[in-house]
Chains A and B, each alone.
Chain A
Amino acid sequence: MSLLEFIFPPGFLANGPVHTALIVGAGAAIVSAVVGVFTVLRGQSFAGHALADVSSAGGSAAFLLGINPLLGFLGVAALAAGGMEWADVRDARERDLVTGVMLGVGLGLTALLLYLDTLRGSTSGAAIAVLFGSMFTIPASIVPLALAVAGAALVAIGAIYRPLLLSSLSADLAQAQGAGVRRTGLVHALALALAVSLAAMTVGAILSTALLIGPAAAALRLADRPGRALAWAVLIGWAATWGGILLAYDSFYWTPGHGWPVSFFIVMLIFIAYLLAGLVGRWLTPRSLERPA
């Protein structure tokens, strides 16, 4: 067996579900990385994670109703993002609590919907698919919608890039310059909802946080300019996702008859990138954009 064949086992590149996973996974990774950089800068990691978890209520509702799961995730995530931004809580402690309480209510709803799912005869498969993702079972018919969602999120971020960056780095300065801070916040929240629901469908609701925060946190340790940080985040997220899919496919050959989960490899690759970024970043830039609070 040649090395190339060892890395890319026969059938990898010709496999339908693998193709779909590669396309949707890349879309989710890129969008999450871009939105994630702003989410980390704005100190909204908890909100980003909460949105993903809450969107799982939509995913489980979609399972129950038999509709397109992406639409389920998307609908609830957009509603929750709009609601959170509308509540507009300035005080940091109150924001933490509102997010937490909303997360609890959303997860409680997920519990109920998944339970009703099992009553209708389906097994615990729905719970695993909603919470932990199902990369290789994404239907190919979802690809156009997934790409449209990814494109919409990127366009939204691109349209407000400058004011968003300004308000993420210094909300007071942005306010003083009269750059519509609230509108920017709302657009960012909606882009976050799009990114999170795409990621929730691929790597699962509770692991989508890895795609959102991991590459962004690693990139911010590497780069001291926003443009470079975005580029690094996209690169890390994308490479980890494709690497994870490849490793998961390979793992069928390591332990015959039993593949290792894709999400496991993706998260581990992202975490390794984060650790390496810390080492490289310290040596590369003595002063980084990101400071621990």
Chain B
Amino acid sequence: MFSDFMTNTWIVATLVAVVAGVVGFFVVVRRAAFAAHVLPLGAFPGAAAASLLGVSELAGIVVFSGLGVLGISQLQRWDRREVATALWLAVALALGTLFLSMTREYSQGLYALLFGEVLGVSSRAIVPVAVLSSIAIAMTALLFRPLLLDSLSPELAEAAGAASRWLELAFLAVLALATATALPVVGALMVFSLMVGPASAARMFSDRPGTALALTIGLSLATVWGSIALSYLSDWPVGFFVGTLAGLSYAAGRVTGVTGEGR
């Protein structure tokens, strides 16, 4: 499990867990679980398109995450938030089925792309993931106060001079970046689970944003490391463990939480 070829996996997984924890904290505060589900899933056609064109998979994912941000925020001007999100999901996945039908060999890669693949992360893959993670964390740090204020009290944030619409756009952009780093490891279908599970448990134990954020990152690391270890030992898909551990963290938070949230 700790042999040489797994070293890269552990490094990438750690980056992924930290980014997912930071972004997941805001996903929970902003009630954005649906968007956190749709952006990664809507980015997976990008990976399929990239394999069709013979370009890097990560580039395809980044492009389609960006399209997702623009698509969702444009549709939001016409319809309510979750309808806009659902419509973008439908359009992106329709393109995905089209790309998939054009390549025969790709359907083998489909499963890994949807449910995650922890083995065989190459050294060259580490650098782009590290760069994207740093940008995502830096953006969150910059936006930390206005985002938190806007999530807790939109009127107050508006008064402080932060426009809700731009903040939503910036938040979606951070979410898209986090998606691009996490997708190849955890899988398009499971990225949001990693964001929602730890953060939803952490807020049960502390009302203070800083403490809750630290707890979220800790739980996220535990979830990712645990899932990879279990997946390595059992050969079962990493997505199964991520989903189950996220569900268990939420349940544990509900049962033992001290802050009274969610009661």
B92 nearest in chain A by CB position: A267
A91 in contact with B90 given A104-B190, A124-B108 (CB within 8 Å): no
23 interchain pairs, CB-CB under 8 A: A43-B80, A45-B86, A92-B31, A96-B33, A100-B34, A100-B196, A101-B196, A104-B242, A105-B247, A107-B190, A108-B193, A108-B243, A111-B189, A115-B115, A128-B100, A128-B107, A204-B97, A207-B90, A207-B94, A213-B83, A258-B101, A278-B78, A291-B80
Interface flag for A237 (CB, 8 Å): no
Contact of A271 among B32, B87, B97 (CB under 8 A): B87
Tell me which residues across on chain B come within 8 A of A190, comparing CB atoms: none
Would A96 and B31 be within 8 Å (CB), given that A105-B247, A128-B100 are in contact?
Answer: yes
Residue A114 lies at the interface, judged by CB distance under 8 Å to chain B:
yes
Asked if B43 CB lies within 8 Å of chain A CBs, one says no
Contacts of A43 in B (CB 8 A): 80, 82
CB neighbours of A290 from chain B (8 A): 79-80
Across the two chains, which residue of chain B brings its CB closest to A277?
Answer: B78
A107 touches B189 (CB 8 A): yes
CA distance A92 to B97 in the complex (A): 33
A292 at the interface (CB under 8 A from B): yes
Contacts of B236 in A (CB 8 A): 112, 115
B114 touches A101 (CB 8 A): no
Instruction: Let me know if A232 is at the binding interface, CB within 8 A.
Output: no
B50 within 8 A of A: no
**Is B173's beta carbon under 8 Å from chain A?**
no
A264 to chain B, nearest CB (A): 4
Knowing A104-B243, A210-B90, A213-B87 are in contact, say whether A114-B192 is a contact too (CB < 8 A). Answer: no
CB proximity of A272 to chain B, nearest CB, Å: 10
Q: For the complex, what is the distance from the CA of A48 to the CA of B37, rounded to whole Å?
A: 13
- B246 near A104 with CB under 8 A, answer yes
Main secondary structure of the interface of A (DSSP, over half): helix
In Å, the complex CA distance between A106 and B242 comes to 11
Bound CA–CA A40/B87 (angstroms): 12
Take A100-B196, A128-B110 as given contacts and tell me if A209 and B90 are in contact as well, using a CB distance cutoff of 8 Å. Answer: yes
Interface string of A190-227 (1 = CB under 8 A from B): 00000000000000101101100110010001000000
Q: Count A-side interface residues using an 8 Å CB cutoff.
A: 63
Q: Are B97 and A46 in contact (CB under 8 A)?
A: no
Within the complex, the shortest CB–CB distance from B80 to chain A, in Å, comes to 4
* A108 B87 Cβ-Cβ under 8 A: no
Instruction: Encode contact with B along A121-163: 1 for CB under 8 Å, 0 otherwise.
Output: 0011101100110000000000000000000000000000000
B68 contacts which chain A residues (CB < 8 A)? none
**Once bound together, how far apart are the Cα atoms of A14 and B241, in whole Å?**
48
A104 in contact with B247 (CB, 8 Å): yes
- Residues of chain B with a CB closer than 8 A to A291's CB: 80
Query: Min CB distance, B198 to chain A, in Å?
Result: 11
Query: What is the CB-to-nearest-CB distance from A25 to chain B, in angstroms, rounded to a whole number?
Result: 15
B91 touches which of A45, A112, A131, A271 (Cβ 8 Å): A271
> Which residues of A are found within 8 Å of B90, using beta-carbon distances?
207, 209-210, 213-214, 267, 270-271
Contact between chains at A112 and B237 (CB < 8 Å): yes
A164 to chain B minimum Cβ distance, whole angstroms, is: 19
